[in-house]
Structure 1
């Protein structure tokens, strides 16, 4: 009887410790679904070194322009609205950057669903599929591209060492190839709001 009670108590403690992690992991898998993020995709005119360099300069300008606006966004819908409301300004900024640097071609900007291949960056995997993205095509758009996750703010650079560059607070740890930040107070607040 005493051994059974001890086993039951230990089993209860294990379940009590694991349950919040499992519940939060289930929620965190949705954090990087195609429905909960917005990418930015910048495609260079060509692979010429000058075109690749200006692509990176435009990337800097776009990220500098959009990051402060999206920093306070609470969800993907709010972020989408902020980007959509500023599409003309975004396109004007890209074109101005090209003009100031002496490039004779323009830039086209669109906020829409675009197909992306599977990308692995360390333990973080974004599966192949259609994602909402701000796409900036420079000139003919036949060069190497750069992309980043605008919301939530995680940036990646293609063609380098696949290093994850955090623009916000660095996540605590990874679980099952999904970004998983265990935040007890957020979990507790969420579970309290469901009552």
Structure 2
């Protein structure tokens, strides 16, 4: 009977840990990145194409100024400082292609749905982002991650597509304290104490 009680307690603790881990992982990730969100004037194909041209300009501009940012908070501070320059270059890109749309640039905390770059998943939640709104801002949007610089890898209207995704391994320190000989499977990996 004691073995069953310990087994049930262990299962309950693992389930609770999984929920807490998912919450911590999402919160940590949202604090460690700075996203870019470009919203088109409309869903008209020419407005969508213009959105991609503005996106290319903003990504190139931010690549230069964020190159030495040591963390997401510093990247955010740089982005705030760059708002006038981002707005100006977006307006110039729009005018160069024959449009006269207004541009609003904001840096703030915004809700995002779950999004993925190939094998990298960004859970739904509030993220710091540079938001560029073209004209009415009623069209489809484009997003990527400015810091760390995932926008700079390759992009399309669907977001970033990684050509060679890197595998990441998560190590949990608490697994090192498992009793010798005890094995558990967590996130598809076998762990031993």
Alignment TM-score, normalising by the size of structure 1: 0.67
**CA contact 2:26–2:123 (8 Å) conserved in 1:** no
Give the corresponding residue for 2:134: 138
Give the corresponding residue for 1:54: 50
Give the corresponding residue for 1:85: 81
Q: Which runs of 4+ in 1 moved over 4 A?
A: 29-32, 156-159
Q: Aligned equivalents of 1:62 and 1:108: distance in 2?
A: 13
* Cα distance, 1:85 vs structure 2: 0.9
* Cα distance, 1:120 vs structure 2: 2.9
**CA contact 1:146–1:157 (8 Å) conserved in 2:** no
SS at match of 2:142: strand
Q: 1:49 to 1:171 in 2, by over 3 A?
A: closer
* Cα distance, 1:172 vs structure 2: 3.8
Alignment of 1:25-104 (within 5 A): 29=25, 33-104=29-100
Q: Which of 168, 171, 191 is the equivalent residue of 1:174?
A: 168
* Cα distance, 1:34 vs structure 2: 0.7
Alignment TM-score, normalising by the size of structure 2: 0.68
Does 2:120 align with 1:124? yes
SS at match of 1:34: helix
Q: Aligned equivalents of 1:59 and 1:128: distance in 2?
A: 22
**CA contact 2:119–2:165 (8 Å) conserved in 1:** no
* Cα distance, 1:122 vs structure 2: 3.1
**CA contact 2:91–2:102 (8 Å) conserved in 1:** yes
Unmatched 5+ residue regions in structure 2?
Answer: 1-24, 171-193
Query: What number of residue pairs does the alignment pair up?
Result: 147
Q: 1:173 to 1:86 in 2, by over 3 A?
A: same
Q: Aligned equivalents of 1:163 and 1:48: distance in 2?
A: 22
User: What's the CA shift string for 1:117-162, capped at 9, x where partnerless?
Assistant: 01133332111111000000000011111111000011375754x6
**CA contact 2:39–2:133 (8 Å) conserved in 1:** yes
* Cα distance, 1:68 vs structure 2: 1.5
**CA contact 1:32–1:126 (8 Å) conserved in 2:** no
Give the corresponding residue for 1:192: none
Does 2:103 align with 1:107? yes
Q: Aligned equivalents of 2:113 and 2:166: distance in 1?
A: 26
